[in-house]
Copies of this chain bind each other. A is one copy, B any other.
Amino acid sequence: MSLDRHRSAGYMINWAARVFTPAIDLRLKPLGISSAHLPVFFALGGGDALPQKVLAVAAAVEQPTMAATLNRMERDGLIKRVPDPSDGRSSLVSLTKTARAKVAAVSEATREVNEAALSGLTDDERGALFALLEKVIVALSQDATARKG
């Protein structure tokens, strides 16, 4: 096999993702939080109460994935769900007082990890990395659409 894994974008990106998760989780663990909770924290940290659907879109995950994450967060006392008065199918999700008290620390932890990850990169390189990843995401999203539709 001639394929060098260091020249495979899929392999490298997957690897990077799998090295990111423990780095962030290490810092979030003392807070009783994990990486999948982050998009929820960012979406609700301002005090909003939002339906699950909105959170799933914000996190770029499927609805059942967000449902499972919210179940765990509810179990752990991080979020609460209140029936949406204007829509009987929906609940409004918000952070508990406990979780709100952690928002600043969560924000700092993510800042730290991103800084650690990008520490060897110049500002230009950081910008380049984000731009290139975005291009890859767009290209693959179109690929998926083209093959489905």
Contact = CB atoms under 8 A, between A and B. Distances in A.
A137 interface: yes
Contact of A26 (B125, B126, B147): B147
Nearest to A127: B7
Interface residues of A, number: 64
A107 B1 contact: yes
A22 B14 CA distance: 12
A134 B19 contact: no
A68 interface: no
B26 A136 contact: no
- Please provide the 4 A-B residue pairs with the shortest distance between their CB atoms, ordered closest to farther: A17-B17, A1-B45, A19-B140, A129-B132
Interface string A4-43: 0111111111111111111110100000000100110111
Nearest to A103: B1
Interface of A: 1, 3, 5-24, 26, 35, 38-39, 41-43, 45-46, 58, 60-61, 103, 107, 110-111, 113-114, 116-121, 125-126, 128-130, 132-141, 143-144, 147
The majority secondary structure among interface residues of chain A is helix
B130 A10 contact: no
**Residue from A14, A17, A26, A143 having most chain B Cβ neighbours under 10 A:** A14
